[in-house]
């Protein structure tokens, strides 16, 4: 518990952002592992058979859990949230940029998920970068 307090006090903006990132990734893990078909449909994903259902659990659920765990591991091991925040910024920005590029290529702008994903991801990426720049003052 003391280590968590130390990490928070050392750099509150970075620690806050990392807590949000871990919560996001672990929340996604729970959502996709517990109800893969229902939640994948919200993302315009439909598996063709039961192996596809497993892949949704593994790649959307399992990898999300692993990313959150890795960010936590970095913060605890290095006694700072800064590196976890940098990793989260790179990850989230890459997802947003890749999504934006391929929505143009694949002409997916009118899909309901896209109308939610682009503004939500953009706000999340901006918030992470704001936390990153604020964290540089510590």
For the stretch 20-56, pLDDT in tens is 999 999 999 999 999 999 999 988 899 999 999 999 9
Measured distance CA(25)–CA(5) in Å, rounded: 22
Question: Who contacts 61 (Cβ-Cβ below 8 Å, separation ≥6)?
Answer: 28, 29, 30, 31, 32, 33, 36
User: Which is nearest to 113 in space by CA: 11, 4, 39, 31?
Assistant: 39
| pLDDT above 90 (res 4) | yes
pLDDT digits (tens, 9 = 90+) for 61-72: 999 999 999 999
Q: What is the pLDDT of residue 125?
A: 98
pLDDT digits (tens, 9 = 90+) for 16-30: 999 999 999 999 999
Instruction: Give the HSE-up count for residue 73: Cα atoms under 13 Å, Cβ half-sphere.
Output: 6
Domain ranges of the chain: 2-135
How distant is the alpha carbon of residue 118 from its chain centre? 14
- Counts of helices then strands in the chain (DSSP H, E): 7, 0
Question: 3-state class of 45 per DSSP?
Answer: coil
Please give the mean pLDDT across all residues of the chain.
95
| pLDDT above 90 (res 91) | yes
């Amino acid at each position: 518990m003391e280590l968590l307090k130390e990490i928070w006090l050392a750099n509150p903006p970075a620690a806050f952002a990392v807590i949000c990132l871990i919560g996001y990734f672990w929340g996604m893990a729970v959502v996709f592992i517990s109800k893969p078909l229902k939640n994948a449909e919200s993302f315009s994903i439909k598996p063709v058979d039961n192996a596809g259902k497993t892949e949704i659990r593994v790649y959307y659920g399992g990898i999300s859990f692993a990313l959150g765990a890795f960010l936590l591991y970095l913060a605890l091991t290095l006694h700072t949230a800064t590196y976890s925040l940098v990793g989260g910024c790179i990850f989230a920005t890459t997802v947003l940029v890749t999504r934006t590029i391929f929505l143009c290529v694949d002409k997916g702008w009118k899909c309901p998920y896209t109308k939610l994903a682009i503004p939500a991801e953009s706000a999340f990426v901006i918030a992470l970068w704001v936390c990153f720049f604020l964290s540089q003052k510590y």
